[in-house]
Amino acid sequence: MACNNRLHFILVPLMCPGHLLPMVDLARILAGRGVAVTLVTTPANADRFRSTILRAVHSGLDIRLHEIVFPSSDFGLPEGCENIDALPSMDLMMNFLNAARTLRDPLGKFIEQVSPRPAGVISDKYLDWTAEVALNSGIPRILFDGMSCLTQVCTHNLLVSKAHEGLSGSAVVVIPGLPKNLEFRKSQLPGILNPGKNPDWQKAREEIFALAEGAYGMIVNTFEGLESDYVKSLKEMKGGKVWCVGPLSLCNKDVVDMVERGSKKSAACNEHLLPLMSWLDSQAENSVLYVCLGSLNRLLPEQMKELGFGLEASGRPFIWVIRGANKGEEFEEWLREGGYEERVSGRGFLIRGWAPQVLILSHRAVGGFLTHCGWNSSLEGISAGLPMVTWPLFAEQFFNEKVIVQISGVGVSVGAKLMIHLGEEEDHGVTITRDDVKDAVEEVMNEKGAVMRDRAKKLGEMARKALVTSGSSYNDLTMFLQDMAKDP
């Protein structure tokens, strides 16, 4: 219980864009409800959202930043490498997670000294060492997983039933215990159920999942209208200690918040922002396809070329965000010297690195979103009321594809058949052809996609209503705060 009956929460995000950004959004939403929030991270990560937090503070919100030094070089990482998206190779993932463990003792000391005394630690699930910190400090640990309720329920049901064990990669797995029939290839299941080649990473996953079971409760970035059956199932599974408070990205209402969300180089970003927005303004309504495969995309140049050829063949205007391609120099040479950029000039707008995704998706000219189905991107597309072309790559993204395509009916699959573990892209090469891309884009963007677009717009309106007073997410957050304010 916080002193003076004022709740104070310590938020500890995993240092990875898909985990960091929604935690910052959560901090702002919590503070907007009158509680104190302290975000704990490392200096380089704090720089990514410092201006956003300063604006929130100036508006009267009680949000604080506490920075802990990250020992990159002590763990074989490049100096200043403090985020997973900065890793030169996914082979260094365990080095990164081990370096993150050194934050445990400084975090524990901070919690003992900070005032008001925290009512709880809201921690990313993958920072399993925060369980020990919370236990030693005598305060609850609340998980922020950043995944859908469907993912939580499917994973739990398979871990318990073991229905996937002993099957080949191409075998079909029917998830047991669901209100509706959902089928996956075993090769599409996330790493905890479908391990890659690195045994150390699989052992770490198992320890993370085991410690997650001891958490007091879970905050989920979703809303009831999107996956109501699975919200209900997860709440029953966790004894009611589940609070669905999303879509968190909708707290970014001002253009400046959308522009700077996740970016620490606003000046560099502005170099392509003004030309981008001018180009978008010149396009017809709902005519542009936005294409982004996420901040951790490391597909090989051969596969990225197939995506490029498919976009070119579609004949549609498009924005293509290119990040982290494996063998990026080779791919860049193809873009420039191979004549691709020249051929699509005027119709295709290419962005290297960061892009203001929430801002772009909200523009009237954007009529579709080709996405890797990361949960943040999925929610951002849904919140913008856009139909989607789905291309899941790794982690739980095939579960998210089911939410978009089968449960919500607002997407078309590009036809991905297997999950590609980060760092194992060389083993797979080209799995999606230019024709796969072209056909899926055409289905979403042509006149036949009008019904899907109407459905997506209605779902986007439901997302916005969930966060306003008396909406489902607003009410869940109220119940969370009431729960945490009870005497222990």
Same domain, 265 and 238: no
Whether residue 37 is contained in a domain is answered as yes
Domain that holds residue 227: 3-250+464-485
Whether residue 24 is contained in a domain is answered as yes
pLDDT value of residue 1:
36
What are residue 347's phi and psi, to 5 degrees?
A: -105, -30
Same domain, 143 and 170: yes
Same domain, 212 and 344: no
Whether residue 255 is contained in a domain is answered as no
pLDDT value of residue 327:
75
Same domain, 344 and 209: no
Same domain, 16 and 158: yes
Same domain, 399 and 355: yes
Same domain, 94 and 168: yes
Same domain, 156 and 289: no
Same domain, 453 and 429: yes
Give the CATH number of the domain where residue 194 resides: 3.40.50.2000
Whether residue 27 is contained in a domain is answered as yes
pTM listed for this prediction: 0.95
For the chain, 488 residues long, the average pLDDT of each consecutive 10-residue run is 69 95 97 98 96 95 97 96 93 95 98 96 97 97 94 96 95 94 96 91 90 95 97 96 98 87 57 88 97 92 96 98 79 90 96 91 97 97 98 96 97 96 88 98 91 96 97 98 86
Whether residue 70 is contained in a domain is answered as yes
Same domain, 177 and 199: yes
The tokens 């998980």 sit on which residue?
Answer: 143
Same domain, 154 and 212: yes
Query: How many structural domains does the chain have?
Result: 2
Same domain, 59 and 48: yes
pLDDT value of residue 4:
40
The tens digit of pLDDT for each residue in 241-291 reads: 999 999 999 999 888 888 888 765 544 455 678 899 999 999 999 999 999
Whether residue 377 is contained in a domain is answered as yes
pLDDT value of residue 263:
65
Whether residue 359 is contained in a domain is answered as yes
Whether residue 182 is contained in a domain is answered as yes
